């Protein structure tokens, strides 16, 4: 169905504060031009992150009011788990309060000093969690992805030639490989299905676990539908399922394509890794 208007009604507005140019300059100087130090009340339009920029639906808000907050065995968790498994197909699903918490759990288990974690481009929180554990967050996006004015259907792709060289030489120092879809730190550029598949093959060749940073997986699936040969007649769900079928697990901030106002998760197939992740997750919540 095509329409000239958005197929939804907006039921709530949020007041924002307008600042003058002089006020903004003063705020920047006071905070040493570090955007992370500026208070949210001084921000008119936030380009620092795309997290939490979507509006939840009436059914999502209703689900919050009907949520089961039982300490253990909550039906809300099982509904959440079922939804994640339907799309991504991973055996274990572990909720976290944020996507960055999922990253911290994952890399605290796998990354150590001297290790290398390749990715097309690491998001800033992913990079921080890797470097906190004294490992190297290595970016290997294709050259086209570094040229803003260049037109290319999948500028978020992994540079497979560079990746193959790194993995062949350093595989013993690579505890995990990643790919971010869409490539958030490169302007949300999409990654092709072929590139995800070939990236997976390279990591699996050396028995390196392959995880997807699923920040904008639905958007990436839609770009594949629009731009990649052979996917025009497939649904976004079918494309998403295929993307995740090439991976061993994923991390996700649900404040992006899940369009919720808080939360994230880590999902995987490995039983032992999942058990360790649950222990770490529980210990952090207790603290």
The confidence band for 4, taking pLDDT boundaries of 50, 70 and 90, is confident
Q: Is it true that the peptide bond before 223 is cis, omega within 30 degrees of 0?
A: no
Cα distance between residue 99 and residue 49, in whole Å:
13
Would you identify the CATH topology of the domain 58-63+81-286? 3.40.640
3-class SS of residue 184? helix
Strands (E), 22-97: 92-96
Q: What are phi and psi of 95, to 5 degrees?
A: -75, 150
Domain extents in the chain: 13-48, 58-63+81-286
User: Ranked by mean pLDDT, which of 33-37, 48-52, 226-230 comes out on top?
Assistant: 226-230
CB 102 within 8 A of CB 284: no
Q: What percent of the chain has pLDDT over 70?
A: 97
CB 173 within 8 A of CB 206: no
The confidence band for 184, taking pLDDT boundaries of 50, 70 and 90, is confident
Query: pLDDT value at position 281?
Result: 62
List, for residues 223-255, the tens digit of each pLDDT value. 999 999 999 999 999 999 999 999 999 999 988
The predicted model gives 34-52 an average pLDDT of: 84
Cα distance between residue 148 and residue 188, in whole Å:
12
**C-alpha distances in angstroms, 258 versus 24, 46, 99, 214, 264?**
32, 19, 12, 10, 9
């Amino acid at each position: 169905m095509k329409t000239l208007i958005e197929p939804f009604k907006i039921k709530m507005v949020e007041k924002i504060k307008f600042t003058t140019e002089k006020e903004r300059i003063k705020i920047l100087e006071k905070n040493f031009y570090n955007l992370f130090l500026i208070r949210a009340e001084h921000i008119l339009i936030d380009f620092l992150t795309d997290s939490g920029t979507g509006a939840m639906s009436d059914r999502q808000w209703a689900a919050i009011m009907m949520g089961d907050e039982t300490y253990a065995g909550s039906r809300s968790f099982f509904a959440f788990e079922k939804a994640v498994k339907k799309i991504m197909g991973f055996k274990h699903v572990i909720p976290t309060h944020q996507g960055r918490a999922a990253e911290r759990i994952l890399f605290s288990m796998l990354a150590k000093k001297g290790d290398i974690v390749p990715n097309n481009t690491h998001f800033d929180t992913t990079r921080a969690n890797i470097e906190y554990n004294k490992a190297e967050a290595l970016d290997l996006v294709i050259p086209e992805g570094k040229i803003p004015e260049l037109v290319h259907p999948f500028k978020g792709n992994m540079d497979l030639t560079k990746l193959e060289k790194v993995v062949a030489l350093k595989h013993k120092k690579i505890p995990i490989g990643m790919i971010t879809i869409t490539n958030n730190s490169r302007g949300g550029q999409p990654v092709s299905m072929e590139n995800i598949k070939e990236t997976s093959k390279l990591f699996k060749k050396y028995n390196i676990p392959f995880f997807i940073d699923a920040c904008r997986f639905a958007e990436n699936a839609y770009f594949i539908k629009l731009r990649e040969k052979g996917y025009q007649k497939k649904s976004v769900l079918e494309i998403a399922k295929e993307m995740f079928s090439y991976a061993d697990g994923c991390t996700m901030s649900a404040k992006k394509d899940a369009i919720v106002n808080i939360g994230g998760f880590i999902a995987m197939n490995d039983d032992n890794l999942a058990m360790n992740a649950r222990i770490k997750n529980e210990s952090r919540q207790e603290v």
